[in-house]
Amino acid sequence: MKLLLKIWRQKDGSSKGKLVDYPIDHIEGDMSFLEMLDVLNQELIEKGDEPVVFDHDCREGICGTCSLMINGEPHGPDRLITTCQLHMRRFNDGDTIVIEPFRATAFPVLKDLMVDRSAFDRIQQAGGYISVNTSGNTVDANAIPIDKHHADESFEAASCIGCGACVAACKNASAMLFTAAKVSQFALLPQGKVEAIDRVQNMVRQMDLEGFGNCTNTGACEVECPKGISLENIARMNREYLMATVKG
Amino acid sequence: MSGLAKTSVARKVVMALSGLFLVLFLLLHVTINLTSVISPDTFNTMSHFMGYNPLVQFLMQPILIAGVIVHFVMGIILEIQNKKARTVRYVKYAGGANAPWVSRNMILTGLVVLAFLGLHFYDFWIHEMNYKFVQANPEDPTRYYAETVEKFEPMWRTLIYVVSFVLLALHLWHGFASSFQSMGINNKYSSGIRSFTRLYAIVVPLLFIFIALYHHLNPITH
């Protein structure tokens, strides 16, 4: 398969980037998208050029590290997968593929296709936890009965891998789906209810401080989320926030 | 105004509540307007009541104006914040692949409706204030029907009204159901809310269009 890659190259966060054309040949349909970039980088290294910097880690769709905007969609044209799970058979011989970093003010570009997503870490640190004394007398979580419906919903919310596709897809670069998933996974469990008021208020406040946009309920985040996190979580976070405002 | 709603969630709730209030008002407005087609006398009576009842004039009308101002000012504040959240645009962005056009262009449809409101206020509200308070004319409960029909005589104004109502329909198509999501309501009733939203977004603007066209095609012969 012969392709024309148009890849965003940017020296560092303070430099101005641009799309650079890279024709590439002999790409197999069974290669993953990241393997295709590996082939390109190998060619660039052999030619003495600087390889394209991009984030990757587990390459099996669970770590949330890979983060490419492929032809205008985060993680490419397929649904419920990450970039590392996207295969080249999805493209046709002769295609042009535009590859850009996830773009948001809160996700500054570090180099080429790699962005700094530590804003998500700070949102999580603001309240995405439960305070448990772990000094020797930890209570077994299973000692508290939880009905299956809520346990399943919580698990689904917790399956968010924090990749940032929701922010990348949203026309407003809103982080509501990520924050809502992290609020929801605790809000649905009895262990999470103790700190519910502070959690939602602090996480929403941190989300705003990071400079993410506002949710306008377009639903793009839900469609592009590789883990299928639904908009119901955003509604739950809104409810939690309203309740926290009334009670708090 | 962003100080009143300090977080993104609170700002969206303000947007949703003011939007729902305006949705309710539209229903009242279209009901009264419909009487102009069915019975000019009833239209005159209702318009006179709305124009001179102190409760309507000095309580409901200021609340309505405040609702409109809150909705569009907050909408503009949110849009400015959203633009700041992505200062470097994508070279290629497939917005249509994951979200409908109406949901991505609420600011556009909203600004057109706002511009229309400017004309609408000039046509009716400013005229009314001038009649009552500047010229200090006496009460005339029979004037409203003729004044309304006369407004729709020019083709250009009727066309502006029709196009604006189409844009209003698009705005409602997303905005009405979206306001429930913003207030945290996403449950077994949500599909019903979405269906009702679509019905409302089609029927109400269509009735407004019908009324405008009806009066344009049936002018009062002098």
Beta carbons of A74 and A84 less than 8 angstroms apart? no
C-alpha distance from B14 to closest chain A C-alpha (Å) = 12
Contact criterion met (CB < 8 Å) for B184 and A219: no
Indicate whether A52 and A79 sit together in one domain: yes
Indicate whether A219 and A125 sit together in one domain: yes
pLDDT digits (tens, 9 = 90+) for A191-217: 999 999 999 999 999 999 999 999 999
Q: What is the average pLDDT value for chain A, to the nearest integer?
A: 96
Contact criterion met (CB < 8 Å) for B106 and A216: yes
Which one is predicted more confidently, A247 or B92? B92
Q: State which residues form the domain around B67.
A: 8-83+102-217
Give the CATH number, domain containing residue A224: 1.10.1060.10
Q: Does B86 touch chain A (CB under 8 A)?
A: yes
Indicate whether A99 and A135 sit together in one domain: no
Q: For position A138, what pLDDT does the model report?
A: 78
Say how many CB pairs under 8 Å bridge A and B: 133
The dihedral over CA atoms of A97, A103, A108, A113, expressed in degrees to the nearest 10, equals: -10
Residue B76's closest chain A neighbor by CA?
Answer: A214
Q: Specify if B54 maps to a domain.
A: yes
Residues of A with CB below 8 A from B184's CB? 235-242
Q: Specify if B16 maps to a domain.
A: yes
Q: Does B174 touch chain A (CB under 8 A)?
A: yes
Q: How many domains does chain A have?
A: 2
Give the CATH number, domain containing residue A98: 3.10.20.30
Indicate whether A47 and A99 sit together in one domain: yes
Domain boundary among A79, A95, A111: A111
Q: For position A166, what pLDDT does the model report?
A: 98
Identify which of B81, B82, B185 has the shortest CB distance to residue A235: B185
Residues of B with CB below 8 A from A246's CB? none
Interface TM-score (ipTM) > 0.90: yes
Indicate whether A83 and A65 sit together in one domain: yes
**Phi-psi domain of B140 (left: phi exceeds 0; alpha: psi -120 through 50; beta: other):** beta
Q: For position B2, what pLDDT does the model report?
A: 47
Task: Look up residue A200 and give its two tokens.
Answer: 């939602």
Confidence check: pLDDT of B129 > 70: yes
pLDDT digits (tens, 9 = 90+) for A131-172: 988 888 777 878 899 999 999 999 999 999 999 999 999 999
Continuous H helices in chain A? 33-46, 118-125, 148-158, 165-169, 176-187, 190-193, 196-209, 220-224, 232-247
Residues of A with CB below 8 A from B176's CB? none
Contact criterion met (CB < 8 Å) for A71 and B94: yes
Distance CA A185, CA A181 (A): 6
Distance CA A215, CA A218 (A): 8
Mean pLDDT within B47-56: 95
Residues of A with CB below 8 A from B81's CB? 213-214
Q: Specify if B95 maps to a domain.
A: no
Q: Specify if B204 maps to a domain.
A: yes
Q: Does A5 touch chain B (CB under 8 A)?
A: no
Q: Specify if B97 maps to a domain.
A: no
Q: Specify if B93 maps to a domain.
A: no
Residue A79's closest chain B neighbor by CA?
Answer: B98
Confidence check: pLDDT of B4 > 60: no
Give the CATH number, domain containing residue B41: 1.20.1300.10
Indicate whether A137 and A84 sit together in one domain: no
Indicate whether A147 and A186 sit together in one domain: yes
Mutation site for A-interface testing, chosen from B1, B2, B6, B8 by largest number of A Cβ within 10 Å: B8
pLDDT digits (tens, 9 = 90+) for A73-82: 999 999 999 9
Indicate whether A29 and A130 sit together in one domain: no
Confidence check: pLDDT of B1 > 60: no
Domain boundary among A76, A111, A146: A111
Domain boundary among A111, A146, A177: A111
Beta carbons of A37 and A76 less than 8 angstroms apart? no
Q: State which residues form the domain around A68.
A: 3-111
Contact criterion met (CB < 8 Å) for A213 and B86: yes
Q: Specify if B88 maps to a domain.
A: no
Mutation site for B-interface testing, chosen from A172, A203, A224 by largest number of B Cβ within 10 Å: A172
Confidence check: pLDDT of A119 > 80: yes
Q: How many domains does chain B have?
A: 1
Residues of B with CB below 8 A from A212's CB? 8, 85
C-alpha distance from B16 to closest chain A C-alpha (Å) = 10
CA A104 to chain centre: 12
pLDDT band at B222 (very low <50, low <70, confident <90, very high): low
Indicate whether A80 and A181 sit together in one domain: no
Contact criterion met (CB < 8 Å) for B181 and A19: no
Distance CA A234, CA A181 (A): 7
Indicate whether A205 and A122 sit together in one domain: yes
Residue A173's closest chain B neighbor by CA?
Answer: B85
Q: Specify if B203 maps to a domain.
A: yes
C-alpha distance from A66 to closest chain B C-alpha (Å) = 18
Residues of B with CB below 8 A from A238's CB? 9, 12-13, 181-184
Beta carbons of A102 and A167 less than 8 angstroms apart? yes
Indicate whether A155 and A90 sit together in one domain: no
Task: Look up residue A162 and give its two tokens.
Answer: 């924090």
pLDDT digits (tens, 9 = 90+) for B27-50: 999 999 999 999 999 999 999 999
**Residue B103: helix, strand or coil by DSSP?**
helix
Q: What is the average pLDDT value for chain B, to the nearest integer?
A: 95
Indicate whether A106 and A163 sit together in one domain: no
pLDDT digits (tens, 9 = 90+) for B67-101: 999 999 999 999 999 999 999 999 999 999 999 99
Mean pLDDT within B179-197: 97
Residue B98's closest chain A neighbor by CA?
Answer: A220
